[in-house]
Structure 1
Amino acid sequence: MELQGQQRHTRPEDERYPALQLAAYGTQHILTMYGGVIAPPLIVGGAAGLSAADMALLVTAGLFVSGLATLLQTLGLARVGSRLPIVQGVSFASVSTMVSITQSDGLPSVYGAIIVAGVIGLLLSSFFAHLVRLFPAVVTGTIITTIGLSLLPVALRWAMGNDAKQPGYGSMANIGFAGLTLLVILVISRVFQGAISRLSILIGLVVGTVVAALAGRTDFSGVGHAKLVALPPILPQGSPTFHAGAIVAMTIVILVIMTETTADILAIGEIVGTEVDSKRVAAGLRADMASTTVAPLFGTFPCSAFAQNVGLVALTGIKSRFVVATGGLVLVLLGLVPVIGAVVAAIPYPVLGGAAVVLFGSVAASGIRTLARVNYQDNLNMVIVGVALTFGLIPIAAPTFWDAFPEWIGVIMHSGISATAVVAIVLNVLFNEISIGNRSGASVFAAAADERDGLGERLDDDIRD
């Protein structure tokens, strides 16, 4: 038993740091995802026509529940929680569906649909996790790459100012703040070593915000009006209501969220270098769905793993789940102390965008690294990667492509991550799992790959000669 305990504590994700480093690294995680976690409440609250005070409650509740969900995911409770360095936050994947339900049946119907769909997802977690065998490197690498590529437009939009209706959107000033933040991060990462290098994102955000403040491009007015301490109320928008159509639509969204969370759990396992089996995926999904089910009680929305923080783990090399758990505590604090949240909210979007370029790009690079381990000889793995990536980029390249399809298809395929997952899994089953009809070297694509590999080897030989 003692040996098992020692092995358990030598896992990369179980590494511990001094308190000050935990606080610094954990805060860096939260600053990375803060803009993403407050965006869904602002969008849905705006669609519901909520007052400024109610909008503030939505944001605060989102931060509070995201913190609790992150603690549950990282530290675990019995068979709930993956115990991996995964940040949980209010999911953006559900925004369009929630806006549609809000406009037709009202916000209480959104909450009712989330509760029912969350319970369904919780019941399906174990079954869903057994599908892990369908996620070999060719699938996970493609999904991770798509996660990074699909997030890059968000980084560029933030760098331009986030809102096209605001004055100065896309101006050289905004892009300049993003560029300065990116430059600070790159210089620190290149010049310094150890703890300072690992805090490059946090330092870049601080420097970018200070420079923006000196230029008069930040707004700290919300700090003076925020309450010092406030507990999130229970059911702030009244009792939830239940409509069949809303429940069906939200259940589809929950399946999409489970697919994305599964991909993120597998991705973080690859990056951390730890074993992730079906039991661990199931535990992670249970934490995801438990948080989602409880979220409406506090007046907020479904939770899921945040892909940008997967990129932060890859970039910094800080693999400890206790660092992310500390970030969860920061989120809880932000939810209980609105004035602190108001200070963090003052970070300009262009500054966030500069940091996001590095973070999101690192996610895509991690996926490419995984794909480099895939065997492409005498198989159709190249076709799997090519087709799945194409489907994953459709929402970026042609956002209206799926509009004419049935709504349930659109809900799934409008998410590049879930579209990639579905296509990659299906093709992998057809081409690799089902052996009937498979013949070595039967594919022209495999033959072309072999020829390119052979050409590369001959070129290497010529260079050596």
Structure 2
Amino acid sequence: MRGSTRPSEPLNIQAPDLRTVAQSPNPMETIMVDRTTAPLTEPAASPPHDPDAAVNEVPKFGRLALYSIQHLLTFYATVLVLPIIIAAGIHLSQSDTVVLLGGTILAGGIATIIQSVGIWKVGIRKPLVLGGSAVVIGPTIAIGNANGGGTVGLLAVFGASIIAGLVLVAAAPLYGWLMRLFPPIVVGSVIAMVGFSLLPIMVGLVGGGDPTAKSFGDTANLTIAGATFATIILLYRFGRGLLKSMAILLGLIVGLIVGVAFGIVDFAPVAEASWFNLVLPFHFGVPTFNFSAIVAMTIAILVVGVECTSSYFAMGEIIGRPPTNKEIRNGIFAEGIAAVLGGIFSAVPPTTFNGNVGLVRASNMKSRWVVATAGVLMILLSCLPKLAAVVSVLPSATVGAALLTLFGIIATIGIQTLGKVDLSQDRNLIVVALSLAAGIIPTAHPQIFQHLPSGLQMVLQSGIVVTAVVAVLLNLAFNGLTRKNGDETSSPAIETPEATTAR
């Protein structure tokens, strides 16, 4: 009846779904709606958070260029040190050192594109830059000198790098299974040690680079480092948007300006560098294959694979999703191919560079296309020695100050990962405590193992490797593989259906 409807109560009518009407045994009953209770519209379900959305974002050109340049400077200012150390260790000439540097940048750029963009089943498709690892410095110098030094020794290094890379490619399928040995309690300890072990090196750069020099730690170097720190801190505190996210880059620029004011920046390398130099494969000749060299480099590259895996989990913490077993396997494939590229292009074997992992966190720019663009810039830089020389004149103090920030962030990510572990339980506390303590031993005094066999020294002189081995063994002893005790023993690499079908 007309009087049964209260005038003050609005009608709430929902249009019927025609497909439902057609399928209903009584269409008229389906069309009838409750005028007082049926909602006008169904509330839209909020879309689930996609942690990979930021990874796959393609920023606008301006932001893409700026963030890519920041990654390029962070990579170059640090990776530059590795070829120089190796060149000095095996007595390379200045011209050959330039070739080694150019090859390292070129191989790193190609490998960065492969890792971030992905080709078939190769590449983790995350914002990771491949540069170099300190783990390979010792074996590279040892192999080079044992095989005659100079360019002759380099040929043995490159041959060993090619074979070691192929071995890592063959071992890649096993890394997913091996992740059962790397729950958060292990991964967090290793990531933290990655940061802790590199902080002392950065402190040396803050002082000027050479602790034996009279200028080490002088007013100029400390002022440059202080200006860099102050710029980064002020931008993080008061900056907004793009300005804040470019804090590291702007800190480097301020440090360079202060260095010029103190008169310690030498632009002679810029004037002397040629404008163009194409890096060709096998510049020094056909690599040689020495069995002992291959064994030594293979051990080092496999150790680097563990270090890279920790970097993948560090990036997973930043993105908001741990890597899957499939992603780890694809990433290790790329690391192995990168080592092969190093041997082909006369380079230090490129590996995932932790400094750029910290930069992703610091800038909050997680796009893998930014890193891929940085890879393209690295390739261009390898062909433009004069442009590369501009970056090489950055004072050591400003590079050290910027990287102290980045590696401090890496250590903090490790601590954040350990926050998932119940450290109120004694067994977990002792695993973390002894793992970090063991890693500090070679970090503080690497010569402590100098009387052991050379092959064993190569492994034990890396605090990262020692922490990884001790953490895995202690976790197996105290927690095993099957104990379910919260997050600390669950594998961080979880293969989800979405992740499986995403590629």
1 CA distance for matches of 2:415 and 2:93? 45
Single out whichever of 124-133 and 382-391 deviates more from structure 2: 124-133
Q: Give the residue type in structure 2 aligned to 1:60.
A: G
Query: Deviation per CA, 1:424-459, whole angstroms, max 9, x where unpaired?
Result: 1121122112569x9x9xxxxxxxxxxxxxxxxxxx
2 CA distance for matches of 1:404 and 1:271? 41
2 CA distance for matches of 1:80 and 1:177? 41
Contact 1:402 1:410 in 2 (8 A): yes
Answer yes or no: is 1:89 the counterpart of 2:136.
no
Q: Residues 199, 434 of structure 1: CA spacing in aligned structure 2 closer, same or farther, 3 A cutoff? A: closer
Q: Residues 103, 277 of structure 1: CA spacing in aligned structure 2 closer, same or farther, 3 A cutoff? A: same
Q: Which of 230, 233, 240 pairs up with 1:186? A: 233
Question: Could you say which residue in structure 2 is the equivalent of 1:375?
Answer: 422
Contact 1:144 1:263 in 2 (8 A): yes
2 CA distance for matches of 1:94 and 1:77? 26
1:36-47 to structure 2, matched below 5 A, reads 36-47=78-89
Answer yes or no: is 1:340 the counterpart of 2:382.
no
- The offset of 1:406, in angstroms, is 2.8
Q: Name stretches of at least 5 consecutive residues in structure 1 with no aligned partner.
A: 1-5, 441-465
Q: Give the residue type in structure 2 aligned to 1:186.
A: I
1 CA distance for matches of 2:482 and 2:260? 62
Q: Give the residue type in structure 1 aligned to 2:166.
A: V
Question: Could you say which residue in structure 1 is the equivalent of 2:3?
Answer: none
Give the secondary structure class of the aligned counterpart of 2:65. Answer: helix
2 CA distance for matches of 1:375 and 1:307? 27
Q: Give the residue type in structure 2 aligned to 1:202.
A: L
TM-score normalised per structure 2? 0.83
Contact 2:443 2:461 in 1 (8 A): no
- The offset of 1:137, in angstroms, is 1.3
Q: Which of 193, 201, 222 pairs up with 1:146? A: 193
2 CA distance for matches of 1:7 and 1:328? 29
Q: Name stretches of at least 5 consecutive residues in structure 2 with no aligned partner.
A: 1-47, 148-152, 486-503
Question: Could you say which residue in structure 2 is the equivalent of 1:396?
Answer: 443
2 CA distance for matches of 1:189 and 1:54? 41
1 CA distance for matches of 2:176 and 2:287? 30
Contact 2:195 2:408 in 1 (8 A): yes
Q: Give the residue type in structure 2 aligned to 1:251.
A: T
- The offset of 1:48, in angstroms, is 2.8
Contact 1:205 1:352 in 2 (8 A): yes
2 CA distance for matches of 1:273 and 1:224? 46
1:99-118 to structure 2, matched below 5 A, reads 99-105=141-147, 106-118=153-165
What is the identity percentage for the equivalent residue pairs of Structure 1 and Structure 2? 35
2 CA distance for matches of 1:181 and 1:65? 30
- The offset of 1:346, in angstroms, is 0.8
Q: Which of 204, 207, 210 pairs up with 1:160? A: 207
1:190-201 to structure 2, matched below 5 A, reads 190-201=237-248
User: Which 4+ residue blocks in structure 1 deviate beyond 6 angstroms?
Assistant: 6-9
Computed over aligned residues only, the root mean square deviation of the Cα atoms, in angstroms, reads 1.9
Q: Residues 230, 132 of structure 1: CA spacing in aligned structure 2 closer, same or farther, 3 A cutoff? A: same
Contact 1:44 1:98 in 2 (8 A): yes
Answer yes or no: is 1:426 the counterpart of 2:473.
yes
Q: Give the residue type in structure 1 aligned to 2:111.
A: A
Give the secondary structure class of the aligned counterpart of 1:400. Answer: helix
Q: Which of 360, 368, 378 pairs up with 1:331? A: 378
Q: Which of 69, 73, 93 pairs up with 2:111? A: 69
2 CA distance for matches of 1:379 and 1:126? 34
Question: Could you say which residue in structure 1 is the equivalent of 2:490?
Answer: none
Contact 1:74 1:81 in 2 (8 A): yes
- The offset of 1:9, in angstroms, is 9.0
Contact 2:256 2:398 in 1 (8 A): yes
Contact 1:87 1:328 in 2 (8 A): yes
Q: Give the residue type in structure 2 aligned to 1:71.
A: I
- The offset of 1:339, in angstroms, is 1.0
Question: Could you say which residue in structure 2 is the equivalent of 1:208?
Answer: 255
Q: Residues 182, 7 of structure 1: CA spacing in aligned structure 2 closer, same or farther, 3 A cutoff? A: closer
Give the secondary structure class of the aligned counterpart of 1:89. Answer: coil
How many residues align? The count is: 433
TM-score normalised per structure 1? 0.89
Contact 2:190 2:468 in 1 (8 A): yes
Contact 1:86 1:310 in 2 (8 A): yes
